[in-house]
Structure 1
Amino acid sequence: MMRGGTLRVAATSGAAVAVGKFTSSTVSSVSLGGLYTVVERPWMRAASQCSSCPSRVVECRSCNRECNSECTLLPVTMVARRSAFSTCDSNKIQWRPNYSRNDHRQPWLIRGMAAGSAAEVLEPAEVPGLPVKEEERPSKPVTPKYLIGKTQEELEDIVLSLGEQKYRGKQMYQLIYKNKIKTVKELAQLPKQLRNAMTEAGWSIGRSPIHHVSTSKDGTVKILLKLEDNRLVEAVGIPVKDKEGNQRLTVCVSSQVGCALRCAFCATGKGGFARNLKAHEIVDQVLSIEDLFRQRVTNIVFMGMGEPLMNLDNVLDAHRTINKELQIGQRMMTISTVGVPNTIRRLATHKLQSTLAISLHAPNQELRSRIVPSAKGYPLDALMEDCKYYFETTGRRLSFEYTLLAGVNDQREHAEELATLLHQWNLGRHVNIIPYNPIADSEFERPTKAKVLAFVETLSKRRVTASVRVTRGLDANAACGQLRNEFQKIPLQASVESPIPV
């Protein structure tokens, strides 16, 4: 073994991993599964069992003064030979075979090892979590891995693989989801050795810093999160008091950075599309809103930036984490879609208990294709057919979103046509009416209150229940994508300082 080499303690039965190192002349603090750096060619002083302590040891430092005799000091080399180890209280010899010089690995007698077990000498690059010199570091970059989204059992497996006890995983689970710790470095309750090993292995919590906060007079808060690639994504916290006077907190989460569907009236589409959000980036929006409000989130709506069904895998993963780890019921979540071919049927197979909201915005194909460009490739009849399939497969009724645009789709005849459409397909007869939230450089205008009431009245006469969504955050740029467009037309440069709120 050469000076500066590394040693990984391994046993035939498997071993956990811990970090330590050799002293200049002896092996100290050696434990099964440990990782050790050789400072000099070591000499081993060892005993199979000490007369004063019950464990097998490499060096009985704790009870050395009480031993009846000195341990024999033996050199360990890379040549083929047998190494002799004596007990503390007799000269009885135990033998352990060494590997030959031609073999890269060499056995060591380590505390707690069964007969026939051996420690293995490894190259620095082979040892996870062990700092190595820059020239020895492998050229392949470490793939980032995120703790948000992991279950308690998965976190326990991670710490076990890094040589720590199982309960550390439960600690980590509480720190991430309850205490909302943002970085591995801040996991102060965990040993520094474990934190360093996690960082070396590429683990991070998966939280993003807040770039900007915009607060409305009505209490609505919109935040911009700065992602790892310096792009910005929005999330909105909406506090509401229910009929019993209890404070509820709804989070409108984004599923993409931008949106490729480019609905004519949507600020997100005007900002362009960059990429899908990863599952942990979606969950992080919920945690960030809880941080700001210092209140537990009660409702989730996937109605922020992007089309959720174009990022279905990550949305489903985030949905599971929000439900299982953040303990927000499925029935308290809504997934909104303008309609993407084949995805509604795929979503139906998961049989979620959450509400599926269909963004119609028009009662016929001709008008819908004008304001929703994707409708040209996914006609209204095909969308409604998929909605019917979803209802029959899951038993869950759908809701329909309808943004009222002044002079475009807000006339009484449009309401009549919408009611006819819903009756024709025998689907859920609830429509959420959304008066248009004006954005800069838009050709559309917000309808008058009289037009909104007339539209609702017409639907009611046709036995279609309609509710008008109260517009929140007009003074906080709360329309989807509006705040993000104000701050970012292109990705931020890495050197940009983020104004993080107090």
Structure 2
Amino acid sequence: MDNPSLYAMTLPDLEALLRAWGQPAFRARQIYRQLYVNLAADPAAMTDLPQALRERLAHEATLNPLRLVRSQSSADGLTRKALFALPDGVQIETVLMIYADRATVCVSTQAGCAMGCSFCATATLGLRRNLTAGEMVAQVLWASREVRSLAVPATQPGHAHSEEGATWWGEARALRRPLERVSNLVFMGMGEPFANYDRWWDAVQCLHNPQGFNMGARSMTVSTVGLVPGILRLADAGLPINLAISLHAPDDALRNELVPVNTRYPIREVLAAAQTYIEKTGRRVSFEYVLIQGRNDHPHQALALAKLLRSQSLICHVNLIPWNPLPGSPLARSDLQRVHAFQQVLVDYGLACTVRVERGVEIAAACGQLAGGGA
């Protein structure tokens, strides 16, 4: 029988495990705090626990289901990508991005993806499997440990680090104030979160728990290619999580080519679900639009998109994303002039619209580039 995974447990689950081990309930609360507040990566670090209990946790429970295979940093040290192996050998990628006032982690919810979007590296893998809630949570805690490490001077006596580590420590000092952990979370890594909704929601609840990691729902964003049932479930969920919908085309004919799931959930149904989400939550929706040279970046397509969104009276924001290169792909990235021209059409039509700031392209850590070591 596999050892229980601590990151996959709620606090009541952990209390039940400790009772079965003959331990008082307060020990579970100590462990929970060690995991999510102190960010303990090893039972040996949980020094407020008896030695015998630490040893039992080490031998009879799984703390971290992720094994770091390799990590890469961008040239400026502000983006870091980790390749992890899961217990069954399947690999996933996670990205940490440091900004002046925040640190954001981009989390994978599946190994691979079944959605088949024609411009995405993850789609080339197909779906390998869904991630567990614990495997999602572990990515956030890895990123938080990385952020916390930035508060330690690289020249501190006794602190050893590699040449790559020196770059990370030396260059990634963009924070205006030290952070104790990641401040923002986006479920925009490998996979489609709403195709793994129940496990994804378990991870959200774990990270939102005020007795543990205590991340605010408004600091979380989930991105979907437009799985309508998931959008409607989120609308009724009661947590104000930000919703981003990958649209990428102003009409069904083109979207069928770029995002095959559109044949099941066409644009009209996706926008209706978005409107339901807006009405029930009072939150605006972001529409993501990857710009591909000559495919979906013409001015007439920008106008069609503007008219489409304005006709629905949606409270929304459009996030334009110049397509990020994939090895061997026949697609081309929209040049800056075309990007700005597309944006101007939307702005002139009264839509809030920004161009996403590029991060991690040179280490294949940007939008659509994650391939879990498989590309």
- TM-score computed with the length of structure 2 as normaliser: 0.85
Measure the CA separation in 1 of the matches of 2:65 and 2:46: 13
Q: C-alpha separation between the residues in 2 aligned to 1:456 and 1:370? A: 23
Alignment partners' CA distance in 1, 2:316 and 2:263: 25
Q: 1:279 to 1:447 in 2, by over 3 A?
A: same
Q: What does residue 303 of structure 2 align with?
A: 416
2:126 corresponding residue in structure 1: 272
Q: Could you tell me which of 68, 73, 96 is aligned with 1:210?
A: 68
Distance 1:457 1:351, change over 3 A: same
Unmatched segments (≥5 aa) in structure 1: 1-141, 242-246, 490-502
Cα distance, 1:315 vs structure 2: 0.9
How high is the sequence identity, in percent, across the aligned residues? 40
Instruction: Call closer, same or farther: CA 1:152–1:208 in 2, change over 3 Å.
Output: same
TM-score (norm 1): 0.65
Q: What secondary structure sits across from 2:287 in the alignment?
A: strand
- Counterparts of 1:481-496 in structure 2 under 5 Å? 482=369, 484-485=371-372, 487-488=373-374
Name the amino acid aligned to 1:155. Answer: L
Distance in 2, Cα, partners of 1:456 & 1:214: 32
1:165 Cα deviation after fit = 2.8
Q: Which has the higher helix share?
A: 2
The match for 2:273 is 386
Which whole-Å CA distance do the structure 2 matches of 1:393 and 1:320 have between them?
20
Match of 2:35 among 171, 176, 181: 176
Does the CA-based 8 Å contact 2:286-2:318 persist in structure 1?
yes
Partners of 2:84 and 2:110 in 1: how far apart?
Answer: 12
1:280-299 alignment to 2 at 5 Å? Answer: 280-294=134-148, 295-299=180-184
Q: 1:240 matched to which residue of 2?
A: 99
Question: CA–CA distance in 1 between the matches of 2:285 and 2:325?
Answer: 27
Paired AA for residue 185 in structure 2: I
Q: Contact between 2:189 and 2:370, CA under 8 Å: does it hold in 1?
A: no
Q: Which piece of structure 1 moves more, 277-286 or 154-163?
A: 154-163
CA distance in 2, matches of 1:480, 1:397: 22
Structure 2 SS opposite 1:426: coil
Q: For 1:220 and 1:206, how far apart are their aligned partners in 2?
A: 23
| Structure with greater Cα Rg | 1
Q: Give the Cα separation in 2 of the matches to 1:338 and 1:403.
A: 12
Post-superposition offset of 1:197: 4.7
The letter for the 1-side match of 2:73 is: T
Match 1:444 to one of 316, 331, 334: 331
- Secondary structure of 1:479's match? coil
Q: Is the 8 A contact 1:267 1:479 kept in 2?
A: no
The 1:488/1:183 distance shift into structure 2, 3 A limit, reads: farther
Contact 2:8 2:132 in 1 (8 A): no
2:283 to 396, 413, 420: 396
1:336 deviation in Å?
0.5
Shift of 1:298: 0.6
Determine the C-alpha separation between the residues in 2 that align with 1:216 and 1:197. Answer: 40
The Cα of 1:350 is off from its aligned counterpart by 0.6
Larger RCO (CA under 8 A, 6+ residues apart): 2
* 1:237 partner amino acid: L
Q: Deviations over 1:132-177 (max 9, x none)?
A: xxxxxxxxxx244221144445434432331223332232122211
The equivalent position to 1:315 in structure 2, one of 197, 200, 224, is 200
Counterpart AA for 1:317:
D
Question: 2:4: which partner in 1?
Answer: 145
